[in-house]
A and B are shown apart, each in its own frame.
Chain A
Amino acid sequence: MQRTWRPILNPWTDRIRSGGFILVLVLCACSSHTPADLHEASRESGRLLIEQYGCGTCHTVPGVRTATGKLAPPLGKFARRVYIAGSLPNDPDVLTRWIQHPQELVPATTMPDLGVSEQHARDMAAYLYSLR
């Protein structure tokens, strides 16, 4: 399982680590496709996909211009959410499956199945996990 997210225990540790992360990026600038680049690309693609699939009709999503819906819970700070849909532990694999086939996980949910491919769902999850 690709671990794209982990709980924040200490914001300072995170800041220090992301500082180190930037340093690594600078040092690796010679090679064009580092895993970090791909991750960044996935997040940006996820942001655009969230806009294109119209998630914002129901959800408010920070950073997505058109996503100002109030019919469903706001998705700000999604990386800090403990549960998805009030019942499923918030984990990248579960979130990806939830985005693809919500009714397989919670049959009665009003969240629609939008026919999202696994890659698209992973990208959207990557964006949601950047919201801290």
Chain B
Amino acid sequence: MLTGALALAALAAIVGVVLLYSGAYNVAASLQHSRPVYWVLDTGMRHSVRRHSSGIVVPDLTDPELLRTGAQCFHLTCAKCHGAPGIAREDIGRGLLPLPNDLTQTARDWPPEQIYWVTRHGIRMAGMPAWEARFSDRDLWAVVAFLENELPRLSVREYRERIRDVSEMSCPRPMDESARPDAARGRELMREYACHGCHRIPGIVGPDVYVGPPLEGFAHRAVIAGVLPNTRDNLIRWLRDPQSVSAMTVMPDLDVTAQHAADMASYLESLD
């Protein structure tokens, strides 16, 4: 019996490896998921969100100011991929697989703590980003408040009314707290700012990429970008405004906040 189970497991492992390396599985997003695969992904996602969001305490979501902020953040960020009443998803939102939910449906079906959790943490392999580095906690809840208490009940005309001043709208970003720089948080932030899209970074799993230099041993580097002495203040300046340090650099300005730069600098200084 045990031998049979072991043989079956070994066979499954071999089939898996052959499938993996043969390239037989088509990763094209132009082909839809089969119904069973879609069911597995969706069911797994729903149960995972339910479990991980349990215990989150939902604040008061009826404050008009909160709803106003939520409408702005929703329109400026969420609607691009998810669409809005009478407004189509933009190209990226249409091309993702699985397709981003229409949030009027989600708002009716999902409890607020689950919407908050997904907005904050994102969903792996689904194109949903984690917004926690870009939105303050208050703004995350503002989006949830708008979804839960307004969006599904708005007519197209009323939605347009909410976003009439779109050119003057902004979605606020996290306030710079003056928390002590934290290396562990810095490591997570390096992922959220997509630093590992160009650099190999110890402690971060990501693509095998050499657009920028690998950051191993950064604590020992004498200079940043080949030109600036490697001190904490210089590193923060480099992270926040690289092109002011070196006009030719391909390192882009990522709109890094002061607190986030300090956290990331702290992580870089820990790379032995």
A residues adjacent to B (C-beta < 8 A): 58, 60, 70-74, 76-77, 80-83, 85-88, 106, 108-111
**Chain B residues within CB distance 8 Å of chain A:** 210-214, 216-217, 220-223, 225-227, 246, 248-251
Which of A71, A86, A88 lies at the interface centre, i.e. has the most chain B CB atoms within 10 A of its CB? Answer: A86
Give the interface SS of chain A, mostly helix, strand, loop or mixed: loop
Query: In the bound complex, do residue B227 and residue A106 qualify as a contact, i.e. CB atoms below 8 Å apart?
Result: yes
Report the separation of the CA atoms of residues A72 and B217 in the bound assembly, to the nearest whole angstrom: 9
Given contacts A70-B220, A71-B222, A106-B248, contact A83 B211 (CB under 8 A): yes
Residues of B contacting A81 in the complex (Cβ-Cβ under 8 angstroms): 210, 213
Residue A110 contacts which of B212, B217, B222, B248 (CB distance < 8 angstroms)?
B222
Asked whether A72 and B223 contact (CB < 8 A) given A87-B246, A87-B248, A87-B250, the answer is yes
Q: How far is the CB of B1 from chain A (nearest CB, A)?
A: 42
Q: Is the CB of A71 within 8 A of B220?
A: yes
Q: A85 to B222, Cβ gap below 8 A? A: no
- B249 A73 Cβ-Cβ under 8 A: no
Given the contacts A70-B221, A73-B221, A87-B246, A109 and B226 also touching, CB distance less than 8 Å:
yes
Which of these, A70, A72, A77, A80, contacts B226 with CB under 8 Å?
A72
> Which single member of B213, B220, B222 contacts A86 (CB below 8 Å)?
B213
- Which residue of A76, A85, A86, A110 contacts B214 across the interface (Cβ within 8 Å)? A76
Check A74/B223 contact, CB under 8 A, given A86-B250, A87-B248. Answer: no
- In this complex, which of B216, B221, B225, B226 has the most chain A Cβ atoms within 10 angstroms of its Cβ? B226
Interfacial chain A residues near B222, Cβ < 8 Å: 58, 71-72, 110
Q: A83-B250, A106-B226, A106-B227 are in contact. Are A71 and B221 (CB under 8 A)?
A: yes
Known: A70-B221, A106-B226, A110-B226. A82 touches B211 (CB 8 A): yes
B222's nearest neighbour on chain A, judged by CB, is A71
Contact (Cβ within 8 A) A86 B246: yes
Contacts of A77 in B (CB 8 A): 210, 214
In the complex, chain A residues whose CB is within 8 Å of the CB of B221: 70-73
A-B contact pairs, 30 of them (CB 8 A): A70-B217, A70-B220, A71-B223, A72-B221, A72-B223, A72-B226, A73-B213, A73-B214, A73-B221, A74-B213, A76-B214, A80-B210, A81-B213, A82-B211, A83-B212, A83-B250, A86-B212, A86-B213, A86-B226, A86-B246, A86-B249, A86-B251, A87-B248, A87-B250, A106-B246, A108-B226, A108-B227, A108-B246, A109-B226, A110-B227
